[in-house]
Amino acid sequence: MNSVIYLIGLIVVVLAVLSFLGFH
């Protein structure tokens, strides 16, 4: 389960970074 939570967290971080770069 921990690996799944880590994977979801990683995806959220990637999406956040992409949206941040997108707004810039």
Which residues have CB under 8 Å from 13's CB, separation 6+?
none
In this prediction, residue 23 has a pLDDT band, given cuts at 50, 70 and 90, of: confident
Rg (C-alpha) for the chain, rounded Å, is 11
pTM recorded for the entire structure: 0.59
Tell me the two tokens of residue 5: 């939570």
pLDDT 10s digits, 1-13: 799 999 999 999 9
The mean per-residue pLDDT over the stretch 7-24 comes to 94
Determine the length of the chain: 24
